Amino acid sequence: MTTQELVAQIKKKKSFLCIGLDVDLQKISTHLLQQEDPIFEFNKAIIDATHHLAVAYKPNIAFYEAYGIKGWQALEKTINYLNKKYPEIFTIADAKRGDIGNTSTRYAKAFFSDLNFDSITVAPYMGEDSVVPFLEFENKHTILLALTSNRGAFDFQTKKVDGEEVYKKVLKTAQTWKNHHNLMYVVGATKAEHFVEIRKIIPNNFILVPGVGAQGGSIAEVCEYGLNENVGLLINSARGIIYASTEENFAEAAAEKAKELQQEMEGILAKM
Ligand SMILES: O=C(O)c1cc(=O)[nH]c(=O)n1[C@@H]1O[C@H](COP(=O)(O)O)[C@@H](O)[C@H]1O
């Protein structure tokens, strides 16, 4: 998917909501456990109930790998379902990969060619040659971790090297890489006060913002300095939406929660 197509979808739906599909069999409605593939049935119900309110879905791969081959099959069915039934949706494989170039090439093949995701999250720690194999794919997007939502973000990312925070170095350096227009970045919603500085370095790139809902981040605070003229934000919530109810009405409850967030976003977009 091109960035222009993503922006068009955001404007049409008046939403920049990304729903995290982080499925935990211990949290889903027990009636689904009798199904042959409860993970996929859960995702399908959530997607069908919320696709008009969200522009992106982000399955975190850990939640599938944790169930072995069955989890991987459920992931494959989920991405195939999204691509076939809702091709306008932007899909994110939250895999946080990155290795020596030869190995990153295989990760890129797995998520872009085989599974056909539009994007993947990648850790920048191993540097340029670990990221470029992802960037080489036309109309696929590499979402580089910059300033993450967790407490550990302060262990390395905000430490200064030569007078500058490491996460700022990541943002600046990655902008010099080949095909850097295929880059998006992750900045946690819990780090809203950093968006002024971040937008000075990357005024144009999309930023994936996890951490609203269960982690306590605020959409309004992120938007105050995070928006750009193309909107430029994808705000993700997983647990806050998909476990709004753990009963049989889980999909309707997820849709209600997603609608709340979409309406907040619509109000913000109306003021742009
Ligand atoms: O890359 C991510 O998506 C990510 C980066 C980050 O800094 N913080 C973060 O929470 N995430 C992911 O975003 C999702 C957040 O889920 P909830 O806290 O349930 O909304 C999880 O899949 C996390 O792994």
Q: What is the pLDDT of residues 47-103, one digit of tens each?
A: 999 999 999 999 999 999 999 999 999 999 999 999 999 999 999 999 999 999 999
Residue 213 has pLDDT above 90, yes or no: no
> Binning pLDDT at 50, 70 and 90, where does residue 124 land?
very high
Q: Which of 119, 149, 184 to mutate to test the pocket of ligand 1 (most atoms within 8 A of CB)?
A: 149
> Binning pLDDT at 50, 70 and 90, where does residue 246 land?
very high
Average pLDDT value for residue range 21-25: 98
Q: Which of 195, 198, 236 to mutate to test the pocket of ligand 1 (most atoms within 8 A of CB)?
A: 236
Report pLDDT digits (tens) over 165-193: 999 999 999 999 999 999 999 999 999 99
Q: Which domains are delineated in the chain?
A: 3-270 (3.20.20.70)
What is residue 216's predicted lDDT score, i.e. its pLDDT? 93
CA distance 234 to 74: 24
116 three-state secondary structure: coil
Average pLDDT value for residue range 207-236: 96
Residue 111 has pLDDT above 90, yes or no: yes
- In degrees and rounded to multiples of 5, residue 137 shows phi and psi of -80, 125
Cβ of 121 less than 6 Å from ligand 1: yes
**Kind plus residue range of the DSSP H or E element containing 161:** strand 160-161
Report CA(220)–ligand 1 centroid distance (Å): 18
Give me the catalytic one of 44, 70, 77, 96.
Answer: 96
CA distance 184 to 171: 10
What is the b/e burial string over 60-78, where b = at least 16 CB atoms within 10 angstroms of the residue's CB? bbebbeebeeebeebbebb
